[in-house]
């Protein structure tokens, strides 16, 4: 049986960061197992390529929710990256870290049992700064030499500019840096790309080690369970095209398969809610009620309008426009191909402009809907603004469908189930719907298609019909204080009751950060590697 110093399960944002750091600095061989495909593909490298794959792609795994009773029985997609680099290889590349209070709250919930490991803002900031290679910002809050290339948008559509100006007319301040002293305001996002090429975790962390014997990467290798002997993780079992294999670890096994699959692997390994495991014929090795509980995601709801002229990105990827834009990108490194299509956004609190933002918005200069709603609005020149509740109170679950590792997990996200989340979303929808009727955007809008009005009943029905994942599942194997019955991990990211087993992806977080989760996931992976190496 093959033996490695450490094994990392999942080559996404967290797993790539962890595996690379361990391979460089542990002095032993590291194995990285990724269930998905290679990240080297033109559509993945180009910022807008993901929009070509919205209806389906081998680089995405489409989980399906359980019927959601509070959404009139709706079943909706939960896409996740199925590729080396994970979400960082298929996302819209928005670079966001969250606000200091997010991490100070983590630290507070672990206080008294953190074993000397802090999770506050001052503890995690050096990891963000160290990973960041920013092309504009520097100083205490930003790095310029890190492997994750962060840049201003390579192209800004007029629709995005008009959106930013309209939201300023609503009273929001212009924000030049959403990762700066405050999130509040409207402006242009920064992105994990440079000169029109995606800077995924696969490129940033793994590519420099491509020929280094200290790191072995195996693709299309689906881990089925962790091997446990005498309450210690000693390896994993995985399946690839040639059959079932077992590999051993002399050190730690790190789970980084994402907040939907990491709890599935734990439960298949006998770690999880005892009765649930027995229901599926799995003997409990380590009963932990919190595995698969506490599923958190940012709920997202669109506002979509038709434009009264040929504005935005509609048809820019078709026919002669595609050839023109492709040539401009190839010859000059400029034009629409350098844009991820989500150049502008905002953080606002519709109830109290001086309080922490409750809503994040993304401006997309096309008619952009989830694939289960594409037929509801005709494809035309238009604009979509999606509103997101940044600190949702709703919690869902991940459970096994069966004891067969080939079966997808049963997922109930419960988006907008908590009444406070629905109330916040309605306020956010009403606020940004006003932007469509505010100059200079108003002069370019022909009709707001959805939602059709801004009264509470219309907005509530609209939210139930169109709410979707913001692609940020988190919290399903969370860290917590000693004595917390739902804490799966301690502050050192170790699975309670099992030696040599850690979780280093967004499953581990006690609560979700305000904003996109790609950068926090990379931070978690790097910090977990340092914990394994004994540096914290």
pLDDT digits (tens, 9 = 90+) for 276-326: 999 999 999 999 999 999 999 999 999 999 999 999 877 555 555 556 655
**Cβ neighbours of 222 (radius 10 Å):** 18
- CATH number, domain at 377? 3.30.410.40
The CA-atom distances, in angstroms, between 184 and each of 99, 239, 427, 473 are: 10, 46, 16, 23
Say whether both 167 and 316 belong to one domain.
yes
Residues in the chain: 536
What span, in angstroms and rounded, lies between the C-alpha atoms of 81 and 477? 19
Say whether both 317 and 450 belong to one domain.
yes
Say whether both 134 and 222 belong to one domain.
yes
Active-site amino acid positions: 472
Closest CA to 347 of 94, 91, 139: 94
Q: Which two tokens stand for residue 220?
A: 């299309």
Strands 197-198 and 193-194: antiparallel
Say whether both 82 and 164 belong to one domain.
no
* Residue carrying the six token digits 């490695």: 4
- What b/e sequence results for 372-394 when a residue is b if at least 16 CB atoms lie within 10 Å of its CB, and e otherwise? eeeeebeeebbbbbbbbbbbbeb
Final residue in a domain of this structure, among 450, 466, 482: 466
CB–CB of 343/153 below 8 Å?
yes
Q: Is 16 helix (H, G, I), strand (E, B) or coil?
A: helix
Say whether both 56 and 109 belong to one domain.
yes
Listing DSSP states for 190-251 in one string gives: -BSEETTEE--HIIIIIGGGTT-TTEEEESS-EEEEEEEETTEEEEEEEEETTEEEEEEESS
Q: What share of the chain is helix, strand, coil (3-state, %, to 5)?
A: 30, 25, 45
Tell me the per-residue pLDDT of 399-421, one tens digit each, with 9 for 90 and over. 999 999 999 999 999 999 999 99
Say whether both 275 and 357 belong to one domain.
no
What is the residue range of 227's domain?
1-148+194-297+395-414+473-536
What span, in angstroms and rounded, lies between the C-alpha atoms of 359 and 429? 9
Q: Which two tokens stand for residue 211?
A: 């020929």
What span, in angstroms and rounded, lies between the C-alpha atoms of 350 and 389? 12
CB–CB of 341/191 below 8 Å?
no
- Cα four-point dihedral sign 256, 479, 124, 137: positive
What span, in angstroms and rounded, lies between the C-alpha atoms of 62 and 44? 17
Say whether both 265 and 379 belong to one domain.
no
- What b/e sequence results for 426-461 when a residue is b if at least 16 CB atoms lie within 10 Å of its CB, and e otherwise? bbbbbbbbbbbebeebeebbeebbbbeebeeeebbe
pLDDT tens digits in sequence order for the chain, 536 residues long:
899 999 999 999 999 999 999 999 999 999 999 999 999 988 888 776 666 666 678 999 999 999 999 999 999 999 999 999 999 999 999 999 999 999 999 999 998 776 779 999 999 999 999 999 999 999 999 999 999 999 999 889 999 999 999 999 999 999 999 999 999 999 999 999 988 789 999 999 999 999 999 999 999 999 999 999 999 999 999 999 899 999 999 999 999 999 999 999 999 999 999 999 999 999 999 999 999 999 999 999 999 999 999 998 775 555 555 566 556 666 566 667 667 789 999 999 999 999 999 999 999 999 877 666 656 777 789 999 999 999 999 999 999 999 999 999 999 999 999 999 999 999 999 999 999 999 999 999 999 999 999 999 999 999 999 999 999 999 999 999 998 999 999 999 999 999 999 999 999 999 999 999 999 999 999 999 999 999 99
Closest CA to 54 of 245, 244, 249, 317: 317
Q: Is 34 helix (H, G, I), strand (E, B) or coil?
A: coil
- CATH number, domain at 57? 3.50.50.60
Say whether both 349 and 226 belong to one domain.
no
Say whether both 226 and 309 belong to one domain.
no
Burial class (CB in 10 A: 0-12, 13-18, 19+), 39: buried
Say whether both 431 and 508 belong to one domain.
no
Domain count, the chain: 2
Say whether both 199 and 330 belong to one domain.
no
Q: Which two tokens stand for residue 308?
A: 């009264």
Strands 193-194 and 359-364: unpaired
CB–CB of 493/531 below 8 Å?
yes
The CA-atom distances, in angstroms, between 118 and each of 106, 111, 122, 474, 487 are: 9, 8, 9, 20, 17
Say whether both 121 and 252 belong to one domain.
yes
Residues 6+ apart with CB under 8 A from 353: 171, 172
């Amino acid at each position: 049986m093959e033996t490695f110093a450490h094994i990392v399960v999942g080559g996404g944002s967290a797993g790539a960061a962890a595996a690379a750091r361990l391979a460089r600095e542990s002095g032993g061989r590291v194995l990285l197992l990724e269930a998905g495909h290679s990240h080297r593909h033109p559509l993945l490298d180009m910022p807008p390529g993901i929009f070509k794959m919205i209806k389906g792609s081998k680089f995405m795994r489409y989980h399906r929710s359980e019927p959601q009773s509070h959404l009139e029985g709706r079943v909706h997609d939960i896409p996740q990256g199925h590729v080396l680099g994970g979400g960082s290889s298929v996302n819209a590349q928005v670079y966001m870290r969250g606000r200091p209070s997010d991490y100070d709250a983590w630290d507070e919930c672990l206080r008294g049992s953190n074993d000397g490991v802090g999770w506050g803002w001052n503890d995690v900031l050096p990891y963000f700064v160290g990973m960041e290679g920013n092309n504009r910002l520097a100083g205490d809050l930003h790095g310029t030499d890190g492997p994750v290339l962060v840049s201003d948008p390579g192209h800004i559509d007029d629709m995005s500019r008009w959106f930013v100006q309209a939201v300023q007319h609503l009273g929001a301040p212009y924000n030049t840096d959403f990762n700066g002293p405050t999130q509040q305001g409207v402006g242009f996002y920064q992105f994990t790309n440079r000169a029109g090429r995606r800077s995924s975790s696969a490129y940033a962390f793994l590519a420099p080690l491509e020929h280094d014997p200290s790191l072995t990467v195996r693709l299309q290798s689906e881990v089925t369970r962790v091997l446990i002997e005498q309450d210690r993780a000693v390896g994993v079992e995985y399946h690839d095209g040639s059959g079932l294999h077992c590999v051993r670890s002399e050190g730690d096994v790190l789970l980084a398969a994402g907040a939907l699959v990491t709890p599935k692997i734990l439960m298949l390994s006998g770690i999880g809610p005892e009765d649930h495991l027995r229901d599926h014929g799995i003997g409990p090795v380590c009963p932990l009620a919190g595995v698969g509980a506490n599923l958190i995601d940012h709920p997202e709801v669109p506002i979509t309008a038709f434009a009264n002229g040929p504005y935005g990105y509609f048809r820019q990827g078709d026919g002669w426009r595609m050839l023109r834009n492709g040539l401009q990108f190839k010859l000059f490194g400029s034009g629409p191909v350098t844009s991820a299509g989500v150049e502008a956004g905002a953080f606002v609190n519709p109830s109290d402009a001086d309080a922490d933002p409750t809503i994040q918005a993304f401006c997309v200069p096309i008619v952009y809907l989830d694939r289960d709603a594409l037929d509801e609005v005709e494809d035309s020149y238009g604009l979509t603004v999606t509103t997101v509740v940044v600190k949702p109170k709703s919690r869902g679950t991940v459970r096994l469908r069966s004891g067969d590792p080939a079966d997808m997990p049963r997922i109930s996200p419960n988006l907008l189930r908590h009444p406070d989340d629905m109330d916040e979303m309605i306020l956010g929808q009403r606020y940004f719907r006003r932007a469509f009727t505010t100059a200079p955007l108003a002069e370019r809008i022909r009709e707001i298609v959805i939602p059709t009005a801004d009264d509470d009943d219309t907005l509530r029905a609209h939210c139930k019909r169109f709410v979707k994942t913001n692609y940020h599942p988190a919290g399903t194997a969370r860290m917590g204080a000693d004595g917390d019955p739902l804490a799966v991990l301690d502050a050192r990211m170790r699975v309670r009751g099992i030696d040599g087993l850690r979780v280093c992806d967004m499953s581990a977080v006690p609560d979700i950060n305000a904003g996109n989760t790609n950068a926090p996931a990379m931070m978690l992976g790097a910090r977990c590697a340092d914990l394994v190496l004994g540096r914290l």
